[in-house]
Structure 1
Amino acid sequence: ASHDHFRSGPAAAVDALHGAVTDLGMNISGTLVHAHLTPTGEGAWNFTWTNAGHPPPLLARPGHPIRQLQEHDLLLYPGLPARRTQHRVRLDPGSTLLLYTDGLIEEPGTPVDQRIQQLSRLLAENSTTSVEGLLEQIADQIAGPAHDDDIALLIVRIDTSGMVRTEPS
């Protein structure tokens, strides 16, 4: 079987990964968000993604409430359905997109939805904070010093000139 899906989009790429893992008999599973960021030519960008079991990315847009990009499919696991869906949202200048792993929002005794709401409020309150400053706020207020799970974050901000600023952690 061919697993080469060059330029086919995030869903096809994850389908190909699932197919390769299945065909090779690898008994592995996982979660991921795979996305493409493409310019619209108008200072905005299209964010096209597929989500295999990761927590929902959060989108802050000027003049709008925080949006949870909740569209997702099952995690990657051999034997589970492999057909993925992909979705697209426009990121206008001033938009901030936050992708994060479940280690950030899983805390014993606290519902995950409540932690996502805390993260959403922090994102809304810091819409003009630098990307680096926003990472520090998330580390201090959400993760906290006693956090013992692994965390990965990616912040993408479209500045007013349409340039992309990213900060992984």
Structure 2
Amino acid sequence: MADRYLTVALESRGVQCTARLLTDKAPRTCEAVWQALPLAGDVYHAKYARNEIYALFPAFAAEEPPLENPTVTPIPGDLCYFTFSDVQLGTASYGYGEGAPHQGRSTVVDLALFYERNNLLLNGDVGWVPGIVWGTVVEGLDVMAEACQGLWRNGAAGETLSFRRA
């Protein structure tokens, strides 16, 4: 099978990077994401994992992928897939508030981009939160990392994170 690529973008900032799907390491996850593309949603900057941006989506796979190619220490350029229940994301400490995109959904998919090193997927409320590494950025990570740092310092309100086939 030929390599598959996607574009990850911060729409309002006009910044994007290109990632290669890791179909050899996470085939079920890659197929589920690929079939669901394009995807776009409000971007959030992580509170616990450090150097991560992500968007939340309704479950889109017929069956959630197994924990293939898992990590709790993502590196710069990793694209990770997480599945949560609305209850897991429902506490006030996460800061989503009323009208959050995941409310009323039994399963929520978190697609994340890690843009810098020293990440640890350890949440004080629930412990270890392994993610599925399903893609890796192959071009444009430096520009995306700078924009992600801007999200951290200046806020993410009004920004959209999108994933689309390249």
Q: Same fold (TM over 0.5)?
A: no
TM-score of the two chains, using structure 2 as the length reference: 0.28
Of structures 1 and 2, the one scoring higher in RCO (CA 8 A, sep 6+) is 2
In proportion to residue count, which structure has more strand? 2
Work out which of the two has the higher radius of gyration on C-alpha atoms and give 1 or 2: 1
Bigger helix share: 1
TM-score (norm: length of structure 1): 0.27
